[in-house]
Amino acid sequence: MKRIAERTGRHCLSLPSNRLGLYLALRHWCPPGQRLLMSPISADEILFLVLAAGLRPVIAPLSPRDGNIDVSRVDLAAVDAVLTTNLYGLPDDAPALGGKTLIEDVAHAMETDLGGRPLGTFGRAGVFSLSKHPGAGSGGVLAVEDESDLKALTRARDELLTRGSLRADLMSVATSMARQAALKLDLVRPALRLTRRLGLQEEREGFRIALDPERLELALKQVPALPPFDPWVRADLHRYRARRGRLVRCYQRRRLTTVPGDRARRLAGVQRLAELPTVAPAVLDDLSRPLFRVPLLVRDRDAAIAELERNGVSTGYLYDPPYDDYAPAFAEPSPDPRPARWWARHVLPVDPMFTARSLPVLRRLEPPRTGPYG
C-alpha cells in the first residue's frame, strides 16, 4: 500500500479486494438513481457492483483502438458519473471526462501513466488490485485525495467486512504461491486440467457469470445494499469482503515490492508483442507502458486460446459478450454496440511476462477479416 500511496500522492485504504473498493467509491460519491457511464467490456462483477450501489448503468460506445470508452461518441451531459476501466492497462481518456464524478478502476493499470500522471489520480477515487500486477491472489487499495473521504470510507469498509480466519488466509496465500510457481515452472497445462477436473470454473457460463435474471430482480429491490449481490460479485473470489490477517497482509506487501523489479521484463514483452500485425492500435501509442496484458485482435480467438493452452499458456480476462448482450434488461444500451461485439469476439489478451512462450503461436495468427463496423 505504501508504494501506491507514494505513486499517487493520495491517502490509501487497504481492502480485501478491488471489488469492495469500487462499491465503496460508488456509494460514497454517487447517490442512488444516478446514471453511470461505463464500458461495455469489463469484468462482469463490476456491473453487479454498479447495480448494488443503486445506479443506472449507461453503456458507452467502445473504441476499437483500445477497448475503452469512446469519449468522442459520448454525450456526457446525459450522465452523472463515469467509471473507467483502463482495459489491460491501456488508459481511458480521463482528462476528457472531467466535469463528471469520475471513479477510476485501475485494476489493470497500476503501472500506467497518462501524460506523465499516474492513473488513479484523475478521479475522485482510484481503485487498485493487488491480484493483477503484484499477483497476490487478492487484495485492493482505494486511493483518495481528501483525508475526510478516507475516514468515511474506512467506516463504510468496516461495516461491510465479514469475519476472516487463519485457515482461509493460509489457503489464499498457498493458492497464490502455487499459481506463481505453475507459471514460472511451465506447469500451466496440468494446473488447468486439475482446475477443470475439480469443477472450479462452474460459476461462469463461458466467460461470464450466470445472470439469473429473476434472482437479480429480487436483489435490486434491496439497493443500495451489497450483500444481496454477493452471489454474483463473489465469483472466483468468495472472500472478497473477508478481513485479512497478518499473514495475507505481509504476503501482499511482499508481492507489491516485486512490481518495480518486473517492470523491465514486462516492458520488453510489450515491445516484442507490439511488433505483431494483430496488436491493438492503442498499444503503439506509447511503448513505455508496462501493460498488464497486451491485447491482440485475431481472426479465430477461441482456436488461438486452445493452441496457447497446448503450449502451456493460459488466457484469461476475457469479457465476452459485452454488457449489451449479457444483461440488456439491466442497463441502458450503447448507441452503437457493434465495436464492442467485434472486440469481445476477437481480442486475445497476452501476458507480456511470458512473451517468449507465446510467440510461436502468436506469430501464426491473422487479423480479423472484417472491421468493427462491417
> Is residue 209, in this structure, part of any structural domain at all?
no
> Is residue 248, in this structure, part of any structural domain at all?
no
Domain extent for 287: 262-362
- pTM of the complete model beyond 0.75: yes
Tell me what pLDDT residue 137 has. Answer: 92
> Is residue 184, in this structure, part of any structural domain at all?
no
> Is residue 370, in this structure, part of any structural domain at all?
no
Count of domains in the chain?
1
In order, the DSSP letters of 42-87 are S-HHHHHHHHHTT-EEEEPPBPTTTSSB-GGG--GGG-SEEEE--G
> Is residue 165, in this structure, part of any structural domain at all?
no
> Is residue 7, in this structure, part of any structural domain at all?
no
CATH of the domain at 340: 3.90.1150.10
Tell me what pLDDT residue 198 has. Answer: 43
Tell me what pLDDT residue 370 has. Answer: 93
Contact 202, 179 (CB under 8 A): no
d(CA 22, CA 159): 15
Place of cell 485525495: 145
pLDDT along the chain (374 residues), means of 10: 92 98 98 98 97 98 98 96 98 94 98 97 98 95 98 98 91 83 66 51 77 97 98 94 94 94 97 98 98 98 94 92 97 97 98 95 96 86
Q: H helices within 290-362, ranges in order?
A: 301-310, 323-326, 338-346, 355-362
> Is residue 295, in this structure, part of any structural domain at all?
yes
CA 88 to chain centre: 7
> Is residue 35, in this structure, part of any structural domain at all?
no
Tell me what pLDDT residue 168 has. Answer: 87
